[in-house]
Structure 1
């Protein structure tokens, strides 16, 4: 029987002596869920981090970050979904799948290291897409990181972070869009454009094009910064990556780019320069309980990123049946 990465269920009535083996910390905690605090949670976080689903320092508590990381892994591997009874619970199936992924990643790294050929160019393995593991993925990540689309440690696995980085590059350069068949795939055109990229958008009509108050370059950087916090939980009054409310999220993102604004949505709405239609990086406002009471950052394609009370930081469509009738307008700082 396959031993789970994070331990098997404790057999009732068996008493254990103190840990005597190096792996004792990952034994006997069974399924892991929100609120748990033990050494197995740390192992879970480390494995999720290796697979690109967990960022920051690991610990022994199964909190909001671990919960979101487990959900992301389950969604990516199609183990569970928001409608599933065990969505966010690291049970036997999730632990086994995560162990397989880590083992596969380790094997790939070993094979890559022992290979006699030094194939480190992006194009060495052809088109690259979600789930690929090879040295070309590492070269892709390094190039994306060089141009500001990828953050953190690079590796050999094309995971969620790499997927989002490629999508951001596609959107920035106009190579593809969410409706495109190859959105998020680093094919020959993407690889070539990435090698030649000089920081200008292929879709820009002029290198000097400006929107009121914010340059187009800054606008895309604001969006890229905002997307780094997708999945962060909603916290009333929150203004940090540990938790945001809607205006706290906007304040935090814009402050990263040297732009300050009032704290509340209503005050921001009064302070901005109103525009007839939003451009990337603008703030869009909604009336959810009388007047301007919710806001987000417009990212293009009629979508905005925001901290929703029931979703945390997420991307929503302005055509959504909830948001469309509540839209008030847009503004620029």
Structure 2
């Protein structure tokens, strides 16, 4: 099977909203001296068409802290994923997802269900995660599953099928372990989309989603980047258009009554933001109902948005195609 077909299989197997939301997650395949890795800011299901070919020796130098190599890696077009660093590690196939079941455990205040998996304490997206994985495994290359606190899951595998199966099996194990009934994420998305149609704005688009008294806290980084919530006295067109002008990212405006309006400069970005917001609602409800919700520190959103790579992703998202 060609690398392109393998990438397609990864994107097909792990590209649904249960496993990733919006442009989240990334996958890679090592082939001789080349790392084929998902491009930044695109959907995982499109990885066959949108991936970067990174020379492995160059990527290894970037992971080791070589600033010149780092600039070359992330200067490639298409630009590889911000998390290319940990794709350098381990066996041939690496799959990083935001599987909702795995996030139940990753974003919980304490472990539950007796599930045992190597876990990395929260690190901001980027090189720090890869270095933490290296520390966890020591001299041995990483293999199997690694849980990233407040972030997601990585599967290090020899084959595409192994990576998909490991991810999906763990996701189901966590869902069973937490107990109770969990709503279907696709049905929840459908309910939110039924609230209102996409509406054009001066400079972008908007869409109402299910109302919610949101306090602005986030459980995971993509909720900050793609679906940060801002309180406002109203969510009318004038307020939405001002948000488009003044805020350099998609946002979810929340009125005093809890009505929500998602605004973004591009239609694709609007869809991403809606998915991430609905996924965050699902996760927040499930964990809060069990007294297990662990939110990012109050100052972490500003730190995430200040990352050079996140600034790139946001600017990339606003370019007209």
Q: TM-score range by the shorter chain?
A: under 0.3
Larger radius of gyration: 1
More helix by proportion, 1 or 2? Answer: 2
Give the alignment's TM-score, normalised by structure 1: 0.27
Greater relative CO, 1 or 2 (CA 8 Å, sep 6+): 2
Give the alignment's TM-score, normalised by structure 2: 0.27
